[in-house]
């Protein structure tokens, strides 16, 4: 029964690896006089490192659908915490998260997220949430690529949850297309609930951008269209 010991060692290495690259990101931010772009480069080293630590491998399908000179919201299914390093590894552009504003107040974590330019959403009430999503859409239009897991939480049974509207409100507000991403295999490497990391194979499939132009009057239809595409892509892997 070596796995509990191996997982303990992996947890320690993951913590050290994450702290190392967060520190490097901070140093880069200071040396570049507060640039928000350059610290995000560390994600392209951090993500592959975590996959290597788990003893896993990753296959990326559809890299040709990434257009580096345009901004998009990348929407993926969410089955494990390994989804995050997998997406950072697969998508070779700087990606930003959309986070609830409460996280901005957390010492160190919130400061770092603010430093690198993460987008914060006010969920205090419907009106403020909607307005902050519209503002976030304009920020994305101004130069940020965003990664979103619109299920809102990890699905534990493999059945994809309904996609929440927030990402698609932002897409319409900023006139930004959505790139669907299907992830398969991450749950087997790191199931939800416990740190039981096992070697495995993650497949990330990147689809063609979907414009919200046809869904201007119906955000829910836009969200459902992207969800159906992600399901179709995942089933084809």
> Which residue ranges make up each domain of the chain?
3-236
E-assigned strand segments in the chain: 57-61, 73-76, 95-100, 119-121, 145-148, 178-184, 201-206
* Rounded CA Rg of the chain: 18
Contact 212, 168 (CB under 8 A): yes
Quick one: fold of 3-236?
A: Glycerol-3-phosphate (1)-acyltransferase (3.40.1130)
Rounded to whole angstroms, the Cα distance separating 112 from 100 reads 14
Q: Identify the helix (H) or strand (E) that includes residue 48.
A: helix 43-53
CA nearest to 118, candidates 134, 103, 96: 96
**DSSP 8-class letter at 210:** B
Contact 137, 119 (CB under 8 A): no
Contact 173, 134 (CB under 8 A): yes
Label each residue of 68-99 as H, E or C.
CCCCCEEEECCCCCCHHHHHHHHCCCCEEEEE
Contact 182, 230 (CB under 8 A): yes
List b or e across 7-35, with b for residues whose CB sees 16 or more CB atoms inside 10 angstroms: beebeeebeebeeebbeebbebbeeeeee
Contact 118, 73 (CB under 8 A): no
Rounded to whole angstroms, the Cα distance separating 206 from 183 reads 9
Res 107: pLDDT: 67
pLDDT one digit per residue (tens) for the chain, 237 residues = 688 888 889 889 988 888 888 788 778 878 877 776 665 666 778 889 999 999 999 999 999 999 888 889 999 999 888 998 899 899 988 888 777 777 777 666 677 667 767 777 776 667 777 777 777 777 777 778 888 888 877 777 778 899 988 889 888 888 889 999 999 999 999 887 777 889 999 999 999 999 988 887 789 999 999 999 999 999 999
Rounded to whole angstroms, the Cα distance separating 223 from 177 reads 12
Rounded to whole angstroms, the Cα distance separating 155 from 47 reads 21
Res 64: pLDDT: 94
């Amino acid at each position: 029964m070596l796995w509990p010991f191996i997982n303990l060692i992996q947890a320690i290495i993951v913590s050290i690896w994450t702290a190392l690259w967060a520190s490097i990101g901070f140093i880069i931010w200071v040396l570049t006089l507060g640039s928000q772009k350059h610290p995000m480069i560390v994600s392209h080293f951090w993500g592959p490192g975590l996959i290597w630590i788990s003893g896993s491998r990753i296959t990326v399908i559809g890299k040709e659908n990434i257009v580096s000179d345009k901004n998009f919201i990348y929407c993926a299914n969410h089955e494990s915490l390994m989804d995050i390093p997998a997406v950072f590894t697969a998508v070779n552009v700087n990606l930003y998260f959309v986070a609830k504003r409460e996280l901005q107040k957390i010492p160190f974590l919130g400061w770092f997220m603010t430093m690198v330019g993460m987008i914060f959403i006010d969920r205090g009430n419907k009106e403020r949430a909607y307005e902050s999503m519209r503002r976030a859409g304009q920020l994305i239009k101004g130069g940020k690529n965003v990664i979103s897991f619109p299920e809102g939480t990890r699905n534990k049974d493999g059945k994809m949850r309904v996609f929440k509207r927030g990402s698609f409100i932002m897409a319409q507000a900023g006139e930004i297309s959505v790139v669907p991403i299907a992830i398969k295999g991450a749950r087997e490497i790191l199931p939800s609930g416990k740190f039981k990391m096992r070697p495995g194979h993650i497949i990330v499939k990147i689809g063609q951008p979907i414009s919200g132009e046809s869904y201007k009057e119906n955000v829910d239809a836009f969200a459902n269209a992207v969800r159906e595409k992600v399901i179709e892509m995942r089933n084809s892997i």
